[in-house]
Chain A
Amino acid sequence: QVQLQESGPGLVKPSETLSLTCTVSGGSVSSGSYYWSWIRQPPGKGPEWIGYIYNSGSSKYNPSLKSRVTMSVDTSKNQFSLKLRSVTAADTAVYYCARGITVFDYWGQGTLVTVSS
């Protein structure tokens, strides 16, 4: 059974960088069959796709966030990561990591990140 777990600070100051890591167990980020994604959900709203990364390092991001997002993968630790720069209050959300490129069959439990001074 594949499990994903997000980790990172729950509070980030405005203009700083949000950094999260997703640790995968029961599966491998190196698997050629799967892509790994980040999705966020502002309180009381629908999910918003942030982007995906593949084990080769290739990635694709939501155009609305593209200028601020970087994703990376660490196959030695079986992890992938998200960095979102220059955050504002509008970036406050539950951040999920998930398996998949277009449809997401396994999700982490999510981590609430609040942007506030």
Chain B
Amino acid sequence: EIVMTQSPATLSVSPGERATLSCRASESVSSNLAWYQQKPGQAPRLLIYAASTRATAFPARFSGSGSGTDFTLTISSLQSEDFAVYYCQQYNNWPPLTFGPGTKVDIK
């Protein structure tokens, strides 16, 4: 089973600042990585797939990069609606599909 880790666990950022979230896989997942955004009391929402392809509902300030074992989600200028928990998920070697423990982005 591929284990996903995320850092930091919590990221405190001021509105308008840049946020950089990291995700690491225990072995290579090529570019078969997705990111999800989850707000309290809501289901996760697909944000990025294939490591860098943004879902249509999300603006260009969200970007994903990386391949192999190390991935980054960047939010270029945080807006109030971006404060949430972000999860990465690999789909290269499965079953099982596996998710990371999440990074909470909160207001500094």
Binding site for B on A (CB under 8 A): 45-49, 51, 60-64, 96, 98, 102-105, 107-110
Task: Answer whether residue B102 sits at the interface, using C-beta atoms and an 8 A cutoff.
Answer: yes
Interface SS of A by simple majority: loop
Are A102 and B91 within 8 A (Cβ)? yes
Are A61 and B95 within 8 A (Cβ)? yes
Binding site for A on B (CB under 8 A): 1, 32, 34, 36, 42-46, 49, 55, 87, 89, 91, 94-102
With contact pairs A49-B97, A60-B95, A64-B96 given, residues A103 and B42 touching in the complex (Cβ less than 8 Å): no
Are A45 and B97 within 8 A (Cβ)? no
Are A46 and B99 within 8 A (Cβ)? yes
Are A49 and B98 within 8 A (Cβ)? yes
Residues of chain B within 8 A (CB-CB) of A49 are 94-99
